[in-house]
Structure 1
Amino acid sequence: MNTRLDQLYSLRRNFTIIGLTGRTGSGCSDLAEILSMKFTEIENIRLPSDIDESVFQKKYAIAYNFAKENWKEYKVIEYKKVLLLMLLPKLYMNPSNTLLFDFFRYRLKDETSKDQILKIKEQIRDLIIDNIVVR
């Protein structure tokens, strides 16, 4: 009997989420970049033949060959982009555009006009349609 819960659990077999956190300069961005590459594009991976000690070489060869055959690159999702996509509908749904006007008054002082705000609002609408609406 295939229940909805079974369907949900089957979905988690098809993907993995890894959360990388750390201070600036800790290497999280570098690791995310490596994880998003194809195995053949990753630089400085030692070949099993480069290792002298025979016992470690055998263990390393097993891990290396497994990774080489089964490696799947990850897609990097930055938290700031997720937050932006969550905020876009709020900006768009604000009928008086006060959020946008406040942002531009604070950031750009006198450089914007109503027409520019409306143009940006349309760009936000397009982003929402392209990225949030389920098709």
Structure 2
Amino acid sequence: MKNKILEVKNLRKTYHDSNGEIEAIKNINFDIYEEEFVSIVGPSGCGKSTLLSLLANIEKQSSGEINWSKENIVIGYMLQTDSLFPWRNILDNALVGLEIRNQLTDDNKQYVIGLLKTYGLGDFMYKYPDSLSGGMRQRVVCML
């Protein structure tokens, strides 16, 4: 028998705005077991991104439970739209995290340049986000 890695019970997420309450997710229940491949499918606006944000602990649920079987779960999650700064070229966008943490050294910069080349973006590192395809922009975001 495979181990349960995630249990979601009675999950609910409500947003509030000037017009009142918007229920994005209501009464969601499911389990995920080891080695399962799960897809979340539904029409636009049905709460897919909200559910992923809750599972990744980017947002807090209004009620219900999200129980991971292990502590310190690492989740990779790519947002629908990238978060690149339009006034910074691709290299500068890729370096922003190091700048914020005061860890921008020549060695770290060379490492990031190497990553850009590995991701197929070496020829584009001095271009700006609006000149890249959506897929190329997402590759930069993966590096951040």
Structure with greater proportional helix content: 1
TM category (shorter chain) comes to under 0.3
Structure with greater contact order relative to length (CA < 8 Å, sep ≥ 6): 2
TM-score normalised over the length of structure 2: 0.26
- Rg comparison, structure with higher value: 1
